[in-house]
Structure 1
Amino acid sequence: MTTLTAPRRTTYTDATAGPTFLRTLRSELLKLTTLRSTWWSLGIAAALSLAIAALYVSASDGGYPILGVLLSAQFTMLVAGVLGAIAITGEYATGMIRSTLTANPRRAQVALAKSLAIALLVGAATAVSSLLSLAVTVPISSTAVTWSDPTQAVLPLMLGVLAMIAYALIGTGFGLLIRNGAGAIAATVGVLFVAPIAVNLFALGGTSWQWVVDLGRYLPVAAGSDLTAIPTGDILQPALTLLAWVVALVGSGILVLRRRDA
């Protein structure tokens, strides 16, 4: 007599089994792009970028369009950071993080896939909004863009995209560490927005607080401003500063994810 057996199911019982990284990345991109909060965030960032760039060029009597695009990052960085935070904490709020880790128990892989998905989406959105801002501001500006000199146009724009990705990943790192939406957003806003204001207040205190001002150069926003300065100068120090923030926060978040229950 022939014995019928049920088909074998593929299960992942340890941290060494699970889907490939590319499959995990596709899954994270799908989740990000199907959330309304993602498109609201990207839409607000694009609108701010267009409005601020156009306002700068109009108010400065034909200001340099590239500078207008880069100046808008002082505001859109908060949107990028918040998006990075809620992309992580949203799963903890709904409990979906448990389903994610059940489907793929490789926690470090999941965290890296989430981070890369956020980086790709924010980078693409920043590049598109920058091009749209230029399309609006170049025709109304009396200052021609110096495309022939990479340090005056192309390079600052490319570095601006990288800086925006770094801001988003800083929010991602806080999301992985704190796991609470309000807490992660507060920490992100504190580092990206409040801390530079506090440093500027210390600068009013004279030379006795100069060490605080010097440390302020290593804040993400200060590093981003130095990185995208026109003409582009020494990019090594600000680039390493942003990289250190991202690696420290995301790396710490991955360690927390691996050691704590979801």
Structure 2
Amino acid sequence: MSDALANTGDTDADSILERISGERREHGITLFGVGVGSDYGDALMERLADKGDGHTVYVSDEDEAREVFSEQLPRNIDLTARDAKAQVAFDPETVEEFRLIGYDNRRVADEDFRDDRVDGGEVGPGRTVTALYAVRTEPGARGHLATATVRWLDPETRRPATRDPRPARGDRRPGDRRPRRLRLESASRGLRIAATTAYFADALGHGDHDLPDAPRRDELADHADDLADSTESEEIRGLAEAIDTANRMM
């Protein structure tokens, strides 16, 4: 475990990262980082987690500390998959444009997907990972859209495993030649939460309408307010308030 504020012994970031990178393979360690709000510490923490087959979490008060260290510790330090990678191959016959939302510093070259020497991400028990793509189909497209494949290493034996590809097909009403467009308000609650969060993060980084058919920030605020009312979740209410604040500032 680390707070990434190196102040005893070897305090040089590069030498610490080199040591972590080597020992994670020899000893099977998993690094669990706790963010402390320092620009230096948080930046180094992310690099440590990348090198140490681990992840980071931000703890800002006593309640969060109790939840992380008392209630969720097993899923923060145990692993069900090492070096997990996901690959999505879009069909150029049906897909005009696509873009991965987020994971900008997690991209893996196509030729490295089955190279188990190339580092991937780690997944703990009870955790899920969602990758969102914004996709625009070719006019009148129907049929096969993409094939998704997942590969990971067993945490103990480091033997590779691959989940068989799952093809995704376009959805079309009988007798309708137009491709269907999924409206955010008609999606499942889980997808609405993930998409609203992702669109908001992307808007902060790139501005409105950078993604295909991206909602405006005021539309995202309405989605987040509706979700907060329907879920009665403090986290979703916090998201809605963050979007409202950003709209006023921007």
TM-score (norm 2): 0.25
Structure with the higher fraction of residues in strand conformation: 2
Structure with the higher fraction of residues in helix conformation: 1
TM-score (norm 1): 0.25
